[in-house]
Structure 1
Amino acid sequence: MTTAATGPSASTAAPAGQGVGPLLRAWRERRRVSQLELALRADSSARHISFIETGRSRPSEEMVLRLAEHLDVPVRERNALLLAAGYAPHYPETPLDSPALETLREGMERLIQGYEPYPALVVDAMYDVVAANRGVAMLLDGVPEHLLRPPLNVMRLTLHPQGLAPRIRNLREWRGHLLAQMERQIALYRSAPLRALYEEVAAHPVPETAMDPEPAGPVPYFALPMRIEHEGRVLSFISSISTFNTPMDVTVAELAIETLLPADPATVKYLHGLLS
């Protein structure tokens, strides 16, 4: 399985206590945007952007939010920018079990249940599973109990040598894909907890049982599949990730819905026969 974390709690790229300027500069440099380009996007001037970044000018709350929008800064980090500029956080972080998010929780549950018999799950920013359907439970058959204790973590379940790793026939490719994804997230968010998770799962050896040769000839898939064994059959899935459009809450912004689409007719037939 794979998913995209959307913004774990993270330390910022600039040292604390230096104000909002270095933080905005760090985000601009990550996005590879010049001061002039950002000024044009934000209806400002390169001189004003330079003054903000060097601390010679204190931006208004509106300007901080406008720059963050044009730099595509994650919601959690927008709050950090506001705090560094001396303003209150703009986006709440509502606990997922709050009554205020009941409709959202029910909607996600209906969505992933409606996707059955194919696997679907909801994860948070640290790849912890928030909800999963019967298709996911089927893939986890036989996984040791110690890996199934809450909170279930997708990366641990997938890459642990006692988890799904021995069953993934193209593990070397799939493992490389997952680790590269985590590296991109770490580079973007500078998250210590995410770095610790990466170091943990990257240290797991690659089980020899998962080293079956790939089929000869061209790969008959339109995207990298996860080829995983279940009860003697090899199932093939393509992963699709969905996030919420224009989230106004940190918790909601960091949720991702992953659906595993069957990549061949044999997988479709098997799943419908197994879970119908």
Structure 2
Amino acid sequence: MASVNAPAGTLIREWRQRRHLSQLELASRADVSTRHLSYIETGRSRPTSAMVMRLCDFLEVPLREQNQVLLAAGHAPAHPELQLSDPPMAEANAALETILRGHLPYPALVVDRHWELVAANDAAYAFLDGIDADLLEPPINVVRLSVHPRGLGGRLANLQEWRAHLAERLRHEYDASGDPELGALLAEVSEGGVEPVTSSALVVPMDLRMPDGNVLSFISTTTVFGTPREVTLSELAIEAFYPADEATRAYLQSRPLA
């Protein structure tokens, strides 16, 4: 992606190319002339804020990057960016806490756009006992923690399969966003090569060895806010883990969390 100081037209062109669209295809979808779109991309015409938003909508540009294009075009950002601790975010915080608490006794956590840990329930934190302290220094990167040999990676019975699964997710997210930090994380996870998943299972599990010798198997789901118009909320994801077999379910339901 272009630097944050790139002209608006350059940013729009790079997003169009990332979405594998020609000028004609984007112009047709956005109901603008190909000539006008060409003028915008080359800097011969400065797009209005409405035009920027229209093009970004058809290009599925994330909210943070939409603000970047608007600023580059000389317009005010359209989407606010708040901290979770800010008063307007109270209801969103309450929703996250309700989901995390309601998922017990199964682990669940909230991550941001770079897979850094935002919050987790007690079941998730319980699996961090004995993890190298350096890996638990904030900000905690969940992807790095899950594959590092001194993190959960040293306890995974199917580390290579899980690493391949994470690499696939990161590649998809990087292709969609162009975020350089995701690109760096993808390179880190893929270092040394990643073997493709060949299992016939419908869902890739995470098989975690416990200190008592049990191996717990989890499948995961991802939940996001449905219609966010604020940057921080648009970048949050809830990763909820469910038992992949009855033995794991029974183990977790019988295990005290405190």
The code of the aligned residue for 2:227 comes to T
CA, structure 1 residues 132+204, in 2 after alignment: closer, same or farther (shift >3 Å)?
A: farther
| Pairing 1:91-106 to 2, within 5 Å after superposition | 91-106=79-94
Give the corresponding residue for 1:168. Answer: 156
CA, structure 1 residues 234+205, in 2 after alignment: closer, same or farther (shift >3 Å)?
A: farther
CA, structure 1 residues 37+199, in 2 after alignment: closer, same or farther (shift >3 Å)?
A: closer
TM-score of the superposition, structure 1-length normalised? 0.83
The code of the aligned residue for 1:39 comes to A
Across the aligned residues of Structure 1 and Structure 2, the Cα RMSD in angstroms comes to 2.4
Give the corresponding residue for 1:228. Answer: 208
CA, structure 1 residues 168+124, in 2 after alignment: closer, same or farther (shift >3 Å)?
A: same
Q: Which has the higher contact order (CA 8 A, sep 6+)?
A: 1
Runs of 4+ with deviation above 4 angstroms: 15-18, 195-206
| Pairing 1:31-180 to 2, within 5 Å after superposition | 31-180=19-168
| Pairing 1:240-259 to 2, within 5 Å after superposition | 240-259=221-240
Q: Report the alpha carbon displacement of residue 172 of structure 1 after superposing the two structures with TM.
A: 0.7
2:25, 2:185 → 1: CA distance?
36
1:269 aligned to which of 241, 250, 257:
250
The code of the aligned residue for 1:167 comes to R
**CA contact under 8 A between 1:83 and 1:89: conserved in structure 2?**
yes
CA, structure 1 residues 38+174, in 2 after alignment: closer, same or farther (shift >3 Å)?
A: same
User: In structure 1, the residue corresponding to 2:249 is in which secondary structure?
Assistant: helix
Structure 1 alignment gaps of length 5 or more: 1-12, 207-217
User: Percent of counterpart pairs with the same letter?
Assistant: 47
The code of the aligned residue for 1:235 comes to L
Give the corresponding residue for 1:7. Answer: none
1:50, 1:268 → 2: CA distance?
57
Structure 2 alignment gaps of length 5 or more: none
Q: Report the alpha carbon displacement of residue 254 of structure 1 after superposing the two structures with TM.
A: 0.9
CA, structure 1 residues 111+173, in 2 after alignment: closer, same or farther (shift >3 Å)?
A: same
The code of the aligned residue for 2:144 comes to R
2:3, 2:128 → 1: CA distance?
42
CA, structure 1 residues 205+149, in 2 after alignment: closer, same or farther (shift >3 Å)?
A: farther
Equivalences, count? 253
**CA contact under 8 A between 1:160 and 1:204: conserved in structure 2?**
no
1:188, 1:171 → 2: CA distance?
26
Q: Report the alpha carbon displacement of residue 127 of structure 1 after superposing the two structures with TM.
A: 1.2
User: In structure 1, the residue corresponding to 2:96 is in which secondary structure?
Assistant: helix
- The C-alpha deviation readout for 1:16-60, integer Å capped at 9, x for no partner, is 555211111111111112222222222222222222112222211
CA, structure 1 residues 15+122, in 2 after alignment: closer, same or farther (shift >3 Å)?
A: closer
